[in-house]
């Protein structure tokens, strides 16, 4: 069942990418969301194909980029957040120090993820619910720092966007992602919680399309 779910998520992200690219009016900071979607297509696709590839060197080699992609691309959602507020006409966001802060925050989150999770990554095979994949051999020593800080940025930016423009979906996607990650799900599946991640990315791509089709507030 989980294999089907991972194939479903990979296909859903592919459709989301196609739809989002079709809606795009211009390349801007919000376009970083498409890199994250591409990464999730690869991530879910490799997990879905795991049992067909089989445990071994090939699957391990294909799995390692999943972690590098997560470390490099996921933090760029900080730049997406900056771009969304800029497009909405939030004046204080347009100041050079704020943009510099967004870039530095993105680089800092990438560095944090590399130092804590990726540089010394050791993989081991894992098989559950019909899925064969490679996961980190080192148990987590604390909360996912990069994800927590990034989520805080998304929630803050979504709240500002809702207050100033009435667009609530970026905030809704971020809050649902937090709840879905924090609340244990009584489901025999390793893929079920990915639905919350998909919902978040749908709301972000939708936010980009909405803001680009709406007159900028001044």
142 SS3 class? coil
What pLDDT score does 183 carry?
74
At 128, the pLDDT band (50, 70, 90 cuts) reads confident
Domain presence at residue 169: yes
Average pLDDT over residues 85-89: 95
Structure tokens at 31: 């376009």
Number of domains observed in the structure of the chain: 1
Structure tokens at 154: 């998304």
* Stretch (H or E) spanning 210: helix 194-212
CA distance 89 to 62: 42
| Window from 80-89, 101-110, 143-152 with minimum mean pLDDT | 143-152
At 216, the pLDDT band (50, 70, 90 cuts) reads low
The boundaries of the domain holding residue 77 are: 2-212
Average pLDDT over residues 152-173: 96
Domain presence at residue 131: yes
Residue 119 has pLDDT above 90, yes or no: no
Domain presence at residue 138: yes
Residue 218 has pLDDT above 60, yes or no: no
Nearest by Cα to 85 from 2, 162, 15, 26: 162
What pLDDT score does 186 carry?
62
What pLDDT score does 173 carry?
96
pLDDT tens digits for 173-215? 999 999 887 776 666 677 777 899 999 999 999 999 999 998 6
Decide if 53 contacts 122 (C-beta within 8 A).
no
What pLDDT score does 140 carry?
67
Decide if 158 contacts 210 (C-beta within 8 A).
no
Domain presence at residue 217: no
Domain presence at residue 33: yes
Domain presence at residue 218: no
Name the more confident of 146 and 184: 146
Q: What are phi and psi of 26, to 5 degrees?
A: -160, 155
3-state DSSP of 55-105: CCHHHHHHHHHHHHHHHHHHHHHHHHHHHHHHHCCCHHHHCHHHHHHHHHH
| Window from 109-118, 146-155, 166-175 with minimum mean pLDDT | 109-118
Residue 2 has pLDDT above 90, yes or no: no
pLDDT tens digits for 38-70? 999 999 999 999 999 999 999 999 999 999 999
Domain presence at residue 109: yes
Q: What are phi and psi of 34, to 5 degrees?
A: -70, -30
Torsion-angle region of residue 185: left (phi > 0), alpha (psi -120 to 50) or beta?
beta
Percent over 70 (pLDDT), the chain? 93
What pLDDT score does 193 carry?
79
Name the more confident of 204 and 3: 204
Domain presence at residue 207: yes
């Amino acid at each position: 069942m989980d294999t089907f779910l991972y194939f479903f998520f990979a296909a859903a992200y592919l459709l989301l990418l196609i739809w989002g690219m079709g809606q795009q009016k211009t390349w801007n900071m919000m376009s970083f969301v498409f890199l994250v979607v591409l990464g999730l297509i690869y991530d879910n696709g490799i997990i879905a194909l795991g049992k067909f590839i089989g445990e071994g060197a090939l699957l391990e080699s294909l799995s390692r980029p999943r972690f590098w992609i997560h470390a490099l691309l996921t933090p760029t959602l900080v730049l997406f957040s900056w771009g969304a507020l800029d497009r909405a006409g939030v004046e204080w966001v347009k100041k050079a120090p704020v943009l510099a802060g967004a870039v530095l925050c993105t680089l800092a989150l990438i560095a944090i993820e590399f130092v804590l999770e990726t540089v010394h990554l050791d993989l081991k095979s894992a098989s559950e619910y019909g899925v064969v994949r490679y996961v980190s051999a080192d148990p987590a020593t604390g909360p996912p720092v990069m994800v927590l800080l990034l989520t805080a940025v998304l929630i803050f930016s979504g709240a500002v966007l809702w207050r100033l423009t009435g667009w609530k979906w970026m905030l809704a996607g971020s809050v649902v992602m937090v709840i879905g990650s924090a609340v244990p799900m009584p489901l025999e599946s390793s893929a079920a919680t990915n639905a919350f991640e998909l919902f978040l990315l749908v709301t972000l791509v939708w936010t980009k399309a909405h803001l680009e089709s709406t007159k900028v507030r001044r």
